Structure 1
Amino acid sequence: MNPIQLDFQKTALVIIDLQKGITRIPGAQGVIDKVAPIVRLFREKGGFITFVNVDFLDGRDRLTPITDQPAASGTPSLPADWAEFVPELGVTQGDHIVTKRNWGAFFGTDLDLQLRRRGIDTIVLCGISTNIGVEMTAREAFQHGYNQIFLTDGMMSTSQDEHDATCKFIFPRIGRSRTSEQFLAEVAENAAN
């Protein structure tokens, strides 16, 4: 395992889809509880925090390719608070907000531009769903040349198998994986040295 040594001026915390409409699923509160201390750490260290949500203008802008496992048909109306970030993470005016219309946070957004202009070369990634929004964003970040750290207990999927497959087969090829506790311990250890 490569040790984590962070320069918080060159590191961004990117939080995927921890929004009210998605975190209603069972188990999501556990993810929020793991991510909250990481948000506090980044605030203390002056790190760049990006909150990513997914939302649609009118429902007609959703992807609808033919697939073996299609999403719900039609354009059902979403709850009014669907895209609002969960209050436990305390989004502030200084945080960068990205609204994506697809799975990944880079395509069609200003995420790469905002990271590069700040000299960011490392992303700490967490959120829901491990094998969809988080994995797609991780693949995009890899293609853009970013170093990545995945908080494996700060994310989840609708099934443990989906989460485990991404953590076992994808993440080791494109970054470093840690639990939130491991991450916090390594950061504290390196700060003490």
Structure 2
Amino acid sequence: MPLTSIDDNAALVVLDLQVGTAGLPSAPNAMSDIIERSVALAEAFREKGLPVIWVNVAGGSTARTQASNGGGSLPDNWTDLLPELKVQDSDQTFTKFAMGTFHDQRFADLLGELKVGQLVLTGVTTSFAVESTARGAYERNINAVVVSDAVGDLDGAVNDHSLEKVLPHVAEISTTAEVLEAIR
């Protein structure tokens, strides 16, 4: 479903653009493009007085799985948000410990405090963090917008599957240019 509007109670939520993910491959959008577009959206949201929430991931589920993380060793600062994001003091930061932000009540509580009813999502990875957060928003009757040219995945085909087959059922799909136009 295409973008209808950016609501007066919208927040930009940027997922997992941190030291530990910066060097990962990203398709179809390069990590540098995702960062650049997320920063441009953050500036526009701030100009409108709308919240910007930078989310990092600092762990994963402790549930038993058959797949290993395969990530090897991580640097001590792997959870740090990237300096090029230009996080401002007025911005919110949120640390999650699972794929999506709604894994416990803390993110829903933050949105309630900020009186947010719409999430505009960017970041990595589309099939994990973005899709899980969009699904969580949908389950809580919060409108979600996924910015298709400001997200990426380890595999372009997986990214496209999420954007074309899954996310349209739970979110609006838009581009950076469309969101910037709608917010002005």
Please tell me whether the aligned partners of residues 45 and 183 of structure 2 are also in contact (alpha carbons under 8 angstroms). no
- Considering Cα pairs closer than 8 Å and 6+ residues apart, tell me whether 1 or 2 has the greater RCO: 2
Post-superposition shift, 1:70? 3.1
Please tell me whether the aligned partners of residues 54 and 83 of structure 1 are also in contact (alpha carbons under 8 angstroms). yes
- Residue 150 of structure 2: aligned partner: 154
Alignment of 1:70-109 (within 5 A): 70-72=68-70, 77-108=73-104
For residues 5 and 140 of structure 1, the distance between their equivalents in structure 2, rounded to whole angstroms, comes to: 20
Letter in 2 for 1:72: G
Please tell me whether the aligned partners of residues 3 and 174 of structure 2 are also in contact (alpha carbons under 8 angstroms). no
Q: Secondary structure at the match of 1:153?
A: strand
Please tell me whether the aligned partners of residues 3 and 172 of structure 2 are also in contact (alpha carbons under 8 angstroms). no
Alignment of 1:40-189 (within 5 A): 40-56=43-59, 63=62, 65-67=64-66, 69-72=67-70, 77-108=73-104, 110-188=106-184
- Pair 1:2–1:156, CA change in 2 (3 A): closer
Alignment of 1:11-50 (within 5 A): 11-26=10-25, 27-50=30-53
Please tell me whether the aligned partners of residues 99 and 109 of structure 1 are also in contact (alpha carbons under 8 angstroms). no
Q: Secondary structure at the match of 2:40?
A: helix
Post-superposition shift, 1:183? 1.7
Per the normalisation by structure 1, the TM-score is 0.85
For residues 2 and 127 of structure 1, the distance between their equivalents in structure 2, rounded to whole angstroms, comes to: 19
Structure 1 stretches of 4+ with a deviation exceeding 6 A read: none
- Residue 191 of structure 1: aligned partner: none
Q: Secondary structure at the match of 2:162?
A: helix
Paired-residue identity, %? 27
Q: Deviations over 1:65-122 (max 9, x none)?
A: 233x43228xx54212211111222112222211111111111251111112222111
Please tell me whether the aligned partners of residues 6 and 179 of structure 2 are also in contact (alpha carbons under 8 angstroms). no
Per the normalisation by structure 2, the TM-score is 0.89
* Unaligned residue ranges in structure 1 (runs of 5+): 189-193
Letter in 2 for 1:24: G
* Unaligned residue ranges in structure 2 (runs of 5+): none
Please tell me whether the aligned partners of residues 105 and 137 of structure 1 are also in contact (alpha carbons under 8 angstroms). yes
Letter in 2 for 1:14: V
Q: Deviations over 1:146-188 (max 9, x none)?
A: 0011101111000100100000011111111011112212333
For residues 165 and 136 of structure 2, the distance between their equivalents in structure 1, rounded to whole angstroms, comes to: 16
Letter in 1 for 2:110: Q
Letter in 1 for 2:55: V
Q: Quick check: which has more Rg, 1 or 2?
A: 1
Please tell me whether the aligned partners of residues 56 and 79 of structure 2 are also in contact (alpha carbons under 8 angstroms). yes
Please tell me whether the aligned partners of residues 14 and 52 of structure 1 are also in contact (alpha carbons under 8 angstroms). yes
CA RMSD of aligned residues (A): 1.9
